[in-house]
Amino acid sequence: MGDQIGNPTRRDFLTMVGAVGGAALMYQTMGMMGLAQASPYAGPIKLGTAPANKKVLVLGAGIAGMVAAMELRDAGYEVEVIEFRDVAGGRCWTIRAGDTYEELGGAVQKVDFAEGNYFNPGPWRVPYNHYGIIDYCRRLGVELEPLIQINNFAYVHSKDALDGKPVRYREINSDFRGHISDLLSKVTNQGALDEVLSDEDKENLLAGLRTFGALNADNEYVSGNTASARRGYERAPGGGVDGAPIANEIMDLSTLLSSGLWSRLATSEALNSSMPIFQPKGGMDMIARAMAENLGDLVKYRKRVTQIRQDDDGVTVVYEDMDQGDAEVTTTADYCVCTIPFSILGQIDHDFSSSLSNVISTMSYNASIKVGVEFKRRFWEEDEHIYGGTTYTDLPISQISYPSNDYLSDKPGVLLGCYSWGATAYQFSSMTPEERISRTVEFGSQIHPQMKEEFKAGVAVAWHRVPWTLGCYGAWQDKEAQYQDGVAMDRRIVCAGEHLSYLPAWMEGALLSSLDAITRLHEVASNAAGK
């Protein structure tokens, strides 16, 4: 982001290093400059100037397509975007009160949320390390607000552990940290690590474990105020006569280990799930709306692509215009960026090279189910003091995520009641939307009994039934072997999207794929024009 804001030389320098020494040297240099560990997004792209009178056709107005269209237009290309739906965004999608959604198979859901409430069935999070999306939000004026991913007071739950009783995240987290720090302290003091650690190392390790695990002065994890200051008290510190705290009891190691609930403790550490994480205010599609507004009438909506052809002179695309009784229209361009998901593209008549065709036909799209449920009141806040964050469970709903907006509101609230993958997602996909919602409430009430009483409305999106993607994200048959075939420019056409990235299912993957694709397209177009 440095090139726009006060540090123009840094990027220029890196670009020069990259040009001279290649990407590896550039990243090595970035590392020395403390800039690595970054998204490969290094600030607004500088394509340079388009060759004269060249047109690029962009297929699909999702994140990848719109990013390509904006940047190619800004470089001077003529741009035309062909979109199947009547709105932009693709999977960057927000369902709002009053919306109607018809899935594959014909089931129609009319969303009966309270005014202003919404649900993001696709992407719902913008991690801090997704620099590209964050920078486009900045450039397009999309406001971001924090999304609470991990809430120490939300639950971890297993139907088979602790009699199915949900436990506050902070208890399991404190107890696991405490017990392993206690065990490692003991064996360190017993000399078990003498061969690998110096005396100074051991001293530092013991001090570190004491802090890390909330151990007492003897490096033991025991019930008491030291542990309770992490895991919670029987009676928390207060004021006045009864102000003194009463500690609670830690969970014994064996019970903790056999509960399996420790498996939830790593989520907050993964780069894409660690704080801070953001969401656009008002719904994820605020990003798509801002991009669509920026593109204006360059985007042609309600056009169903039926044929893609290319030859030495250009690219020819045939589409059915749904606004003209499905009349067949032919459009041409010099180049094309194709962001249509391969699940759809495989069904379209095309003449791609055999290597790309092979990737398209062998890529499968993963199943995923997301259910948004609205309740009459925010009982998770009012009764249980849970403000945002996620409850993890091994029930088929997998997780419950509480809204990270409108805290303390006395209006109905929408939570993510089910977010599952794999076999569970297939099961949910085979149900009617109403069944999916009622199952979500049924399972969820094992954790929040209030759910049954407080249910108001729901919407269930099974991604295999979403007409414009037929799945959640692209899964490679053999990524290592096929990847370069998939991303390579195929004569005049280059494909882009989350499926052509190492950040599948993330908007950042779509965006980075798109920037890389148009960089190469521009190179090809410039070279061709230079001849």
Q: Is 325 in the site for its own copies (CB under 8 A)?
A: no
Pairing of strands 335-338, 493-495: parallel
Q: Is 100 in the site for its own copies (CB under 8 A)?
A: no
Q: What whole-number distance in Å separates Cα of residue 451 and Cα of residue 441?
A: 6
Q: Is 511 in the site for its own copies (CB under 8 A)?
A: yes
Nearest CA to 330 among 305, 361, 301?
305
Q: Is 364 in the site for its own copies (CB under 8 A)?
A: no
Q: Is 153 in the site for its own copies (CB under 8 A)?
A: yes
Q: What whole-number distance in Å separates Cα of residue 215 and Cα of residue 182?
A: 7
Q: How far is the CB of 509 from its own copies (least distance, A)?
A: 5
**CB 317, CB 330: distance < 8 Å:** yes
Q: Which residue stretch of 113-121, 167-175, 310-318, 345-353 sits at the interface with its own copies (rule: CB under 8 A)?
A: 167-175
Pairing of strands 455-462, 368-375: antiparallel
Measured CA distances, 255 to 172, 181, 219, 224, 512 (Å): 11, 17, 21, 19, 45
Q: Is 388 in the site for its own copies (CB under 8 A)?
A: yes
| Candidate list 110, 411, 452, 520; residue touching its own copies; CB under 8 A | 520
| Candidate list 17, 79, 500, 505; residue touching its own copies; CB under 8 A | 500
Q: Which residue stretch of 89-97, 338-346, 416-424, 512-520 sits at the interface with its own copies (rule: CB under 8 A)?
A: 512-520
| Candidate list 21, 98, 164, 238; residue touching its own copies; CB under 8 A | 238
**CB 398, CB 440: distance < 8 Å:** no
**CB 182, CB 220: distance < 8 Å:** yes
Q: Which residue stretch of 72-80, 107-115, 289-297, 386-394 sits at the interface with its own copies (rule: CB under 8 A)?
A: 386-394
| Candidate list 310, 339, 398, 514; residue touching its own copies; CB under 8 A | 514
* x/- letters, 203..222, toward its own copies (CB under 8 A): -xx-xxx-xx-x--------
Distance, first Cα to last Cα, the chain: 34
What does 408-459 look like in DSSP terms, one character per residue?
T-SS-EEEEEEEEEHHHHHHHHTS-HHHHHHHHHHHHTTT-THHHHHEEEEE
**CB 369, CB 477: distance < 8 Å:** no
Binding-residue total with its own copies (CB under 8 A) = 123
Q: Which is nearer to its own copies, 95 or 261 (CB)?
A: 261
| Candidate list 100, 198, 297, 354; residue touching its own copies; CB under 8 A | 198
Q: How far is the CB of 335 from its own copies (least distance, A)?
A: 16
**Lateral strand order in the sheet of 335-338:** 299-300, 78-82, 55-59, 335-338, 493-495
Q: Which two tokens stand for residue 38?
A: 């970054």
* x/- letters, 15..54, toward its own copies (CB under 8 A): --------x---x---x----xxxxxx-------------
Q: Is 6 in the site for its own copies (CB under 8 A)?
A: yes
Q: Which residue stretch of 74-82, 251-259, 299-307, 366-374 sits at the interface with its own copies (rule: CB under 8 A)?
A: 251-259
| Candidate list 8, 21, 98, 260; residue touching its own copies; CB under 8 A | 260
Q: Is 529 in the site for its own copies (CB under 8 A)?
A: no
Q: Which residue stretch of 46-54, 94-102, 196-204, 365-373 sits at the interface with its own copies (rule: CB under 8 A)?
A: 196-204
**HSE toward the beta carbon, residue 78, CA cutoff 13 A:** 8
Q: What whole-number distance in Å separates Cα of residue 293 and Cα of residue 87?
A: 11
Q: How far is the CB of 86 from its own copies (least distance, A)?
A: 27
The number of beta carbons lying within 10 Å of the beta carbon of residue 411 is 13
| Candidate list 51, 76, 232, 346; residue touching its own copies; CB under 8 A | 232
The SS3 of residue 360 is helix
Q: How far is the CB of 414 from its own copies (least distance, A)?
A: 18
Nearest CA to 404 among 272, 261, 284, 508?
284
Q: Is 481 in the site for its own copies (CB under 8 A)?
A: no
Q: How far is the CB of 35 from its own copies (least distance, A)?
A: 9
CA-based torsion, 213, 216, 220, 221: positive or negative: negative
| Candidate list 216, 282, 304, 387; residue touching its own copies; CB under 8 A | 387
266-305 positions binding its own copies, by CB under 8 A:
266, 269-271, 274-276, 278
Q: What whole-number distance in Å separates Cα of residue 378 and Cα of residue 376?
A: 7
Q: Is 431 in the site for its own copies (CB under 8 A)?
A: no
